Every structure is written in structure tokens, then in C-alpha cells.
Amino acid sequence: MPNVIMSYSINPVEEEQCVLLTYEGEMAAMEVVAVRSEAARLLSARHWNRMVVDISALRSLSALEMFVFARGLPSELPRYVSVALIVRPEQAVYATFIEKVAENDGVFIAFFFHMEDAIAWVNPLGATVYDQEMAS
């Protein structure tokens, strides 16, 4: 049986009222969704409306799984949540479609290739707290 490397982090950033969710390595689709659900519960429990999700380092996510991942967000997140989705350039076509589908369900998703751009989008007033979080 091959070694499966999976890693994720869910970081609530109190000062910005935002959840940072990052994935890397290889994870089964069910595990990716379970982690997404955990992050969504945290966001709901805190009554926040911003999330940054970085799937750019997740090697095992196919286009279909990426769509399923994003498609499940509206049922788990409070309405009118803004989600910055960080993807690899080759995932841009799928991410564009996901943006449109999610927006129809009341979730605002925008995709980015770089963390800095995603942070600026969810926090237009400044990214100083995020910068500190990412440096730690």
C-alpha cells in the first residue's frame, strides 16, 4: 500500500473574522469534503462570512472533485459568505465555472493563483493580520 501524505490546516483569524483553510499532498475526496465541513462549521459557529481556501498544493483533486468540493459549500456555509479559492493555473477553467455556480447559490467565490491576492480580496482594508498568521 503506497504512503498517502495528507495535510491540512484550519486557522481562524479572530482579528479579521476569517477562516484560512489550506490543503496539501494527497487526500481522498471524502477527506477533503470532511475537512471543508469542519471549516464551514467553525465559520458558522463564529458567525463570520469570510474564508480563504487554498487547494493549490493538493495534488490529488481532479476537476470533478474540485467541482464537488465547491458545490457543497452553499449547503454548509451561511448565505453571503465570501470564499477566496486559491488554485493552480491549470485549474482556472474549472474555477471560473465554480464561481458562477456558487454565486447562483448565494456564496461568493473568487479564484486566485496567489495567497496575497486572495487575502486582499476577502480583506480589502489590509492584510497585516493575515501576513502575521502566514509567517507563523
Give all domains of the chain, ordered by start, each with its CATH number. 6-130 (3.30.750.24)
Decide if pLDDT at 86 tops 90: yes
- pLDDT tens, position by position, 51-77: 999 989 888 677 777 777 777 777 788
How high is the pLDDT of residue 53? Answer: 92
How high is the pLDDT of residue 119? Answer: 87
pTM: 0.81
Sequence-separated contacts (24+) of 9-12 with Cβ below 8 Å = 10/35, 10/38, 10/39, 10/42, 11/133, 12/42, 12/46, 12/48
Decide if pLDDT at 15 tops 60: yes
The neighbour count for residue 101, using CB atoms within 10 Å, is: 15
Cell numbers for 111: 479564484
* Closest of 17, 23, 24, 56 to residue 38, by C-alpha: 23
Band of residue 26 on the pLDDT scale cut at 50, 70, 90: confident
Could you give the angle at the alpha carbon of 13 between the alpha carbons of 9 and 19, nearest 5°?
55
How high is the pLDDT of residue 130? Answer: 46
